[in-house]
């Protein structure tokens, strides 16, 4: 399939793909095409991608707050991401913090007491915040000259997944391979991401 460089055209194609997908998922390849359409890092592209990632993570903070309302870790992570973008925080300090919180969340996700959906949803919301910080630090992982619309999140290592993957998983009760995952909620999320969130970046 020919990959457009026009953001509106890519968005229209992505919306059609989400509605037609059996589980209403948005392939990673479409997200990469949108990131590529924002332009190069030298042309404010990185900042737009990071802003989109931060906005995406913020959209699911209530899922975290509903379970761990006394723990502001994801809020602090996103504040760190914004400081990185604004140039008010040393990147190495932010990298060290990112590695620290990733380890905490990774361990929490694997603990038996947090295996239920009640806890996996907020953990995914927290991981969305970490992924947004990662984007602020390093940009998104993609090759603008080699976009494949058929690329899915299942093809990626968890360490490399983006904020929107984790946020969708939080909102829709897990990624598409989880039995309790809700296709209709996933459709809601991706429709919001492709319209409201993208416009706000």
**CA–CA distance, 83 with 141 (Å, rounded to integer):** 21
Residues 53, 187, 56: CA angle, nearest 5 degrees: 15
Element (H, E) at 12: helix 7-20
126, 74 Cβ separation under 8 angstroms: yes
199, 177 Cβ separation under 8 angstroms: no
What is the reported pLDDT for 4? 60
**CA–CA distance, 108 with 105 (Å, rounded to integer):** 5
Low-confidence stretches of the chain (pLDDT < 70) are: 1-5
What is the reported pLDDT for 3? 56
HEC assignment per residue over 173-184:
CCCCCCCCCCHH
**CA–CA distance, 35 with 74 (Å, rounded to integer):** 23
For tokens 């793909």, name the residue.
Answer: 17
């Amino acid at each position: 399939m020919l990959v457009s460089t026009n953001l509106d055209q890519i968005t229209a194609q992505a919306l059609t793909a989400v509605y037609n997908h059996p589980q209403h998922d948005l392939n990673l390849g479409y997200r990469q095409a949108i990131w590529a359409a924002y332009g190069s890092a030298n042309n404010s592209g990185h900042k737009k991608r990071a802003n989109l990632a931060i906005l995406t993570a913020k959209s699911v903070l209530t899922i975290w707050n509903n379970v761990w309302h006394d723990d502001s870790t994801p809020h602090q992570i996103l504040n760190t991401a914004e400081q990185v973008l604004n140039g008010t925080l040393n990147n190495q300090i932010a990298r060290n913090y990112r590695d620290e919180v990733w380890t905490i969340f990774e361990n929490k996700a694997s603990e038996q007491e947090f295996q239920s959906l009640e806890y996996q949803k907020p953990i995914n919301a927290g991981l969305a915040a970490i992924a947004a910080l990662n984007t602020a630090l390093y940009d998104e992982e993609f090759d603008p000259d080699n976009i494949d619309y058929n690329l899915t999140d299942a093809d990626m290592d968890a360490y490399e997944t983006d904020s929107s993957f984790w946020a969708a998983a939080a909102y829709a009760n897990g990624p598409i391979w989880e039995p309790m995952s809700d296709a209709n909620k996933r459709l809601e999320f991706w429709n919001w991401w492709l319209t409201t969130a993208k416009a706000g970046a």
